[in-house]
Structure 1
Amino acid sequence: MRRTSQAIAYIAGLGLTLALTACSGSGEVSAGQASGNGLEKTTLKVGALPIPDPAALFIAKAKGFFKEEGLEVETSIIAGGAAALPKIKNGSLDISQTNYVSTFLAVSKGEKIKLIADAYQAAPNTFNLMVPKDSPIRTAADLKGKTVAVNTLTNIGTLAVTATLKVAGLKADDVTFKEYPFPEMGAALTQGQVDAAWVTEPFITATQSQFGFRKLADTMTGQTADLPIAGWMATDEFAKNNPKTLAAFQRALAKGQQLAANDRKEVEAIVPTYTSIKQETAAVITLGTFPTTLNETRLQRVADLMLEYGYLTGKLDVKTLLAGASTP
């Protein structure tokens, strides 16, 4: 998914202009000393989105966890999981943040990808349908015949909205989906170009503050409650050729993920260092959760939901995509 493919643009009127900075490591061990650890590579190029989801990566980098493993991690801002796929294939990135919908769609088309760690999971009010404050639309059922903005068609946004419509007795074709970058949805709604918009943080907070929009529905309930959203991927070839390096990366990242999962203050402190989200905004946005294990049962939910709603044409066995699993 390119759930946040336009999140690197600015949010008009709120001063969330992009000012991306890289976090510097603080460990004592240099990457050059890693040869003693038998690592196949000591410098990794890692892609991440400028949103809260990959906070653990930057926490681990700032606290020197990668250096402790003999790794030098060079971060690169990407537009989205789908956009990152060509970069890990051509080697300009070794590892990248991705979203599971984009990943499973790519795999269904023959791409060889391994998932190496989990990153982010939905929580209540992290992915909402929003409408103008004076809109006559009061429930999801009122969306019949209306136009809904999503940041990317045939992806997590349309999937989540479709699941929400089902509960209201509607189908996907009862609405018209229209693609807009997240930063442009506010204007689209106020100008009447769409009737509702599927919005995530920090744009939920932004549109409420700037335009007074109200929540129509939380799209992460029922079938989509606690839905896995984002993880970390590499090509199957990279995983096979760099097992020790990958294991070292996973160990360091896991330490960062533990901190993100257990201490919101760590997330609030790190997010403004690599995104355009200001400290005061980071303190109030609604965050999802940061899973500490890559669980095949949880991820299978996403693939099964995609199959149910026609995003996949056949059942996908997620277990085969986890690093360490053999490809059939």
Structure 2
Amino acid sequence: MKIGIMTIPDCATVQIAKVRGYFEAVGLPVEIETVQGGGIALPKLESGALNFSIMNYTAAVLAEANKPGTLKIVADAYQAEPNTFKLMVPKNSPIKDLADLRGKHVMVATLRSVGTLTTETALKIAGLTAGDVRFSERPLPEMIDALGAGVADVAWMTEPFISAYQELGGRMLYDVMQGETESWPIAGWATSADFADSHPREVAAFQRAILRAQHDAQNRQVITEILPTYTKIKATTAATIILGTFPTNLHPERIRRVAEVMREYRYITREVDVSKFLLPFPDDVDSPAPPSPPAAPSTATPSPTKVPAP
């Protein structure tokens, strides 16, 4: 199975499941591929180039609105907390507050996605709209250099890029995860509806493995140890950066917030029933076992943990 991830904390649980042998235990060999964002991963899921991928909920709602019944979210991945996603500017930037963004160039990982939506909620505070700024796409790893070269004025960032840029003198303009977007559902693990229909055993196996990893991720030490293995976050930084949370359920009410705000900002023009693209967990993982104790730091793959077969 090919899984699309981004090299950011949101995707830690795929790495946990791989290193701790959870995928192997459910009979699911996996290959991991880096993607720029959920919107770009979507056609790869539809074509079969990817079987599962990280998918921000803004992109998922857009997919359901534009092409109903083509996408399934099979597990939650990440929820924002304060200071986990920020608008960043160079240290000598003349931009001092949100009102200064009028006419400025803002970089996001993908357009019409969580980056643009949460930036628009920030712009509203200053009486601005998306039409008052210029948005462009830029892969997260390229944003720091782009700001340094003057390619853009502002970047929508998450870790490890926030910490890396702050070390270079970059400063926060605004924390986009507050007010209307407090405790914002960021992303889930997605597959195509066709793959879910034709490979129910594999999807159930993925759900079992990833949900166990989501439970393990409740232990901060587990996340601290895994981050340096697939991101550019140093071990010392991994222990101190601010992280979001890793939900262990798929509550439609939480994700419905995303659709409601998207309708407010006219990303969609009609109500979208998010429950239609959420795929329930198999019965045997509705009440998973408590999290495993954190593994000792190691790059070796441990013996597979016993998990119910798909």
TM-score tier, shorter chain, comes to: 0.7 to 0.9
How much has 1:82 moved relative to structure 2?
Answer: 2.2
Pair 1:134–1:91, CA change in 2 (3 A): closer
Alpha-carbon distance in 1 for matches of 2:274, 2:56:
14
Q: What residue number does 1:208 align with?
A: 166
Identity of aligned residues (%): 50
SS at 1:72 equivalent: coil
Pair 1:314–1:67, CA change in 2 (3 A): same
How much has 1:53 moved relative to structure 2?
Answer: 1.0
How much has 1:191 moved relative to structure 2?
Answer: 4.4
SS at 1:92 equivalent: coil
How much has 1:296 moved relative to structure 2?
Answer: 0.7
How much has 1:158 moved relative to structure 2?
Answer: 1.5
Pair 1:308–1:71, CA change in 2 (3 A): same
1:83 paired to 2:40: yes
How much has 1:61 moved relative to structure 2?
Answer: 1.9
How much has 1:193 moved relative to structure 2?
Answer: 4.0
Pair 1:207–1:89, CA change in 2 (3 A): same
Please report the TM-score for the alignment, with normalisation by the length of structure 2: 0.83
Q: What residue number does 2:296 align with?
A: none
Pair 1:191–1:295, CA change in 2 (3 A): same
1:264 paired to 2:220: yes
1:120 paired to 2:44: no
Q: What residue number does 1:274 align with?
A: 230
1:101 paired to 2:52: no
Pair 1:160–1:258, CA change in 2 (3 A): same
For each residue in 1:272-318, what CA deviation from the matched residue of structure 2 results, as whole angstroms up to 9, or x when unmatched?
22233332332233211111111111111111111110111211110
SS at 2:50 equivalent: coil
How much has 1:320 moved relative to structure 2?
Answer: 0.6
Alpha-carbon distance in 2 for matches of 1:163, 1:76:
31
How much has 1:80 moved relative to structure 2?
Answer: 2.3
For each residue in 1:26-79, what CA deviation from the matched residue of structure 2 results, as whole angstroms up to 9, or x when unmatched?
xxxxxxxxxxxxxxxxxx332222221111122122112223323323323333
Q: 5 Å matches for 1:1-328?
A: 44-110=1-67, 112-210=70-168, 212-260=169-217, 262-324=218-280
* Preserved CA contact (<8 Å) 2:36 2:109: no
Please report the TM-score for the alignment, with normalisation by the length of structure 1: 0.78
- Which AA in structure 2 matches 1:300? R
SS at 1:135 equivalent: coil
Pair 1:73–1:159, CA change in 2 (3 A): same
- Unaligned residue ranges in structure 1 (runs of 5+): 1-43
Alpha-carbon distance in 1 for matches of 2:49, 2:152:
38
